Amino acid sequence: MSDEAKSEPGSETEETLERLRELLVGPEREDIHELRTELDARQLNVDELGHMLPAALHAADKQQVTQVLAPIVETSIEVSVKKNPKPLTEAIFPLIGPAIRRSIRHSLAELTESLNRTLEHSFSARGLSWRVEAWRSGKPFAEVVLSHSLKFRVEQVFLIHRETGLLLEHAAAPGVAAADPEMVSAMLTALGDFVADSFDATEAPALSQIEFGGRVLEVASGPRALIACEVRGVLNPALRTVFEEAVESLHTDFQEPLQDFAGDTEPFFAARPALEALLLEERPEKKQKGNGAARWVLSVLVVMLVVWAVQAAIASWSIGKRWDKLQAALVAEPGIVLIRGEANGTRLVLVGLLDPLAADPLELVSDAGFEVLDVEATWTSFMSLEPEIVRRRTLKSLALPDGVRASWDGLALKLEGQVPSSWTETVREKWQNGGFSGLEAFDTSKLVDPSWSAGPH
């Protein structure tokens, strides 16, 4: 359409043109008009929707909205992590640490439990005193053992900006000569980069601990900053957790300064106290004064207890031995039959049968080493037929006069010597009447009446 033709106002040309337009693009015009209207309407709708959406979400049934959004959110997270895991990791960082530590604590508690059981059998004097400490303080025994075996001192703490290696703040224990902490921080960072590069480590900080000559450099890292602690001695492993918690709380407390860091370290002066709080130290020799006396008394009591126990044990063992000896003696002694015997501590109870011609049991008791006063003895008289007793009884009963010798062959008695025949007659008659119980044979053939030597009657 030529514009020049339009220049004549209200001309035929214009009318013709208009009619031409109508003919050629009439229907399309209407479409265009409709489309335009719709587009405008749509734009309006989008704006309106934008305004209404938050309100709509707020008013909607949370469950339904969540259900609908869940897959979308999941996919979004996937995409975000794939594209660049950093933002998400940084956001979650303050949560991950504590969660992981909690689960580790549980596993460690179990480990400590089993460790406890294994350690239960250590009976050194130190072990005993640690046991008492564990019982008193409520800590698990293994922990007490660990805490007494280590001694250390945190000498320096560096707060380092991770990306640049610049020193943000620094704290040193009194008396420690801190040699240019700024350069140390930078070199440490360079070392970390070097290690990561050489060993193809991922972006995560490569170094967590450097051990050297009796010292350890513990490094706890976060996404933007890290804490390096120079420790002299052997660090109690539980304290690594303290460093990690410190780095986490520093990330929270100094979130903005860390994010915006462009070289100005002034905002980090405020981190000094937190760093100084990490200058920990432990020495086992340092004992609280209050417990000194108590511990003394306790150990004396324990020693006394042990001594008493040992003495009691020895005493009862020796009594046992003496009792056995006494019992054996009583059994062996002719004319004594022990029916019941007990040793209660040092008291003895003896019940049995006693022949009048037997040895005095109390003699045997004191021979065995018992105090006679501690003996309660009940003896019932009886007549023993033991060979030795029979012999004694027979001889006693015979009341051999001088000049008569007796000789025994088992329970057969043979008399020799000179004695009036009337005596011989009497004893022979007694023998025949059973007056010598237990005597098996009686030979009096060798007895000679002294008056017969003068000649036969």
Partner 1 sequence: MVIKKKICMLGAYAVGKTSLVRRFVEDRFSERYVTTIGVKITKRELVLDGTHITLMLWDLHGDDAFQTVQMAYLRGSSGLLFVADGTRPETLDQVAVLKTRAVESLGAVPSLLLRNKSDITPATDADMSGFGEALPTSAKSGEGVESAFAELARRMQAG
**Contacts with partner 1, residue ranges (CB under 8 A):** 161, 163-167, 179-180, 182-183, 186-187, 190-191, 193-194, 196-197, 262-266
Least distance (Å) between residue 211 CB and partner 1: 18
Q: How far is the CB of 254 from partner 1 (least distance, A)?
A: 15
What is the closest distance, in whole angstroms, from the C-beta atom of residue 180 to partner 1 in the complex? 6
User: 254: exposed, middle or buried (C-beta count within 10 Å: 0-12, 13-18, 19+)?
Assistant: buried
Looking at the Cβ atoms of 160 and 354, the one nearer to partner 1 is 160
Residue in the structure block whose two tokens are 């059981």: 117
Greatest extent of the chain over all pairs of C-alpha atoms, in Å: 215
Answer whether 34's CB lies under 8 Å from 40's CB.
no
Our CB check for partner 1 shows the closer of 192 and 361 to be: 192
Cβ at position 199, least distance to partner 1 in Å: 12
Helix (H, G, I), strand (E, B) or coil at 241: helix
Task: Kindly state the smallest distance separating residue 267's Cβ from partner 1, in Å.
Answer: 10
Distance CA 1, CA 21 (A): 9
Instruction: Select 165 or 361, whichever has its Cβ closest to partner 1.
Output: 165
Q: Hey, how many other C-beta atoms are within 10 angstroms of the C-beta on 367?
A: 13
Tell me how far, at minimum, the Cβ of 165 lies from partner 1, in Å.
Answer: 6
Q: Treating both helix axes as pointing N-terminal to C-terminal, what angle do 86-119 and 238-253 enclose, rounded to 10 degrees?
A: 160
Identify the three-state secondary structure at position 237: coil
Determine the Cα–Cα distance for residues 205 and 214; give it in Å rounded to an integer: 24
- Token digits for 148? 């007494």
**Least distance between partner 1 and beta carbon 231 (Å):** 22
Quick one: 411 exposed, middle or buried, by C-beta within 10 A (0-12, 13-18, 19+)?
A: middle
Q: How far is the CB of 4 from partner 1 (least distance, A)?
A: 54
Structure tokens at 44: 């309006």
- Return the half-sphere exposure (C-beta side, CA atoms, 13 A cut-off) of residue 187: 6
Nearest to 268 by CA among 154, 157, 155: 157
Q: Tell me which H or E stretch contains 179.
A: none
Query: Per the structure block, which two tokens stand in for 382?
Result: 């009886």
Selection from 327, 329, 307 nearest residue 319 by Cα: 327
CA-CA distance, 251 to 192, in Å (whole number)?
20
Identity of the residue, 249 or 265, whose beta carbon is nearer to partner 1 in the bound complex: 265
Measured CA to CA, the distance from residue 429 to residue 435 in angstroms comes to 9
Distances from the Cα of 82 to the Cα of 79, 202, 203, angstroms = 5, 15, 15
- Three-class HEC string of 88-104: HHHHHHHHHHHHHHHHH
Nearer to partner 1, 221 or 384 (CB): 221
CB of 263 to partner 1, least distance (A): 5
| Nearest Cα residue to 443 out of 434, 453, 451, 431 | 431
Minimum CB distance to partner 1 smaller for 256 or for 285 = 256
**Which of residues 188 and 447 has its CB atom nearest to partner 1 in the complex?**
188
In the complex, minimum distance from the CB of residue 196 to partner 1, in angstroms, rounded to a whole number: 7
**172 bridge partner residues:** 156
Helix or strand or coil: residue 364?
helix
The residue (of 187 and 304) whose beta carbon lies closer to partner 1 is 187
Our CB check for partner 1 shows the closer of 144 and 184 to be 184
Residue among 135 and 269 whose Cβ is closer to partner 1? 269
CB 273 → partner 1: shortest distance, Å? 18
Which CB, 132 or 191, lies closer to partner 1? 191
